[in-house]
Structure 1
Amino acid sequence: MTADQLQQLIAAGLPCEHLEVTGDGRHWAAVIVSPAFEGMRAIARHKRVYATLGERIQSDEVHALSMKTYTPAEWAAK
């Protein structure tokens, strides 16, 4: 798995206004800005991303994913 592949998987399952993925092939970090996060707490946002990745998280294809998740308004305020 490459950063580009992981980024494409997230973008395919979640509308993103901004998406950055970095990592070493097993451990990843992502900054995800999506209107789908409106009204969600952080844990629900993370679960939404995990659901997008599906079996890849469970099969250890993506061993660890650290996320910073924002709504567009939160991102604009940063």
Structure 2
Amino acid sequence: MQPETIKQLIEEGMPGARVQVVGDGQHFEAIIVSEAFEGLSMIKQHQLVYSALGDRMRADIHALSMRTLTPTQWAAMQK
């Protein structure tokens, strides 16, 4: 699986999300920025991403490290 494929899957499953993914084909790192994360715990945020990836998380992706942020958190990091 390629990083771009993971990016597309997350964006399709979480419309409006901004996604960056890097990886070597088995291990990936993602930054996901979405309004859907507002008010949710980190666990619930990660569950939304896992849901967007569906069965591919078990079958095709060996390891995914992710950072989930709201747009407000992302903007604060950019300063």
- For normalisation by structure 1, the TM-score amounts to 0.93
Q: How does 1:4-43 map to 2 (within 5 A)?
A: 4-15=4-15, 16=17, 18-43=18-43
Q: CA RMSD in A?
A: 0.8
Paired with 1:56 and 1:6, the residues of 2 have a C-alpha distance of: 9
The gaps in structure 1 that reach 5 residues or longer are none
SS at match of 1:8: helix
Paired with 1:75 and 1:65, the residues of 2 have a C-alpha distance of: 20
Using the TM superposition, give the Cα deviation of residue 58 of structure 1 relative to its aligned residue in structure 2, in angstroms.
1.6
Residue of structure 1 in register with 2:72 after alignment = 73
SS at match of 1:46: helix
SS at match of 1:29: strand
SS at match of 2:65: strand
Residue of structure 2 in register with 1:45 after alignment = 45
Paired with 2:58 and 2:6, the residues of 1 have a C-alpha distance of: 14
Using the TM superposition, give the Cα deviation of residue 48 of structure 1 relative to its aligned residue in structure 2, in angstroms.
0.7
Q: How many residues align?
A: 76
Paired with 1:36 and 1:63, the residues of 2 have a C-alpha distance of: 25
The gaps in structure 2 that reach 5 residues or longer are none
SS at match of 1:65: strand
- For normalisation by structure 2, the TM-score amounts to 0.92
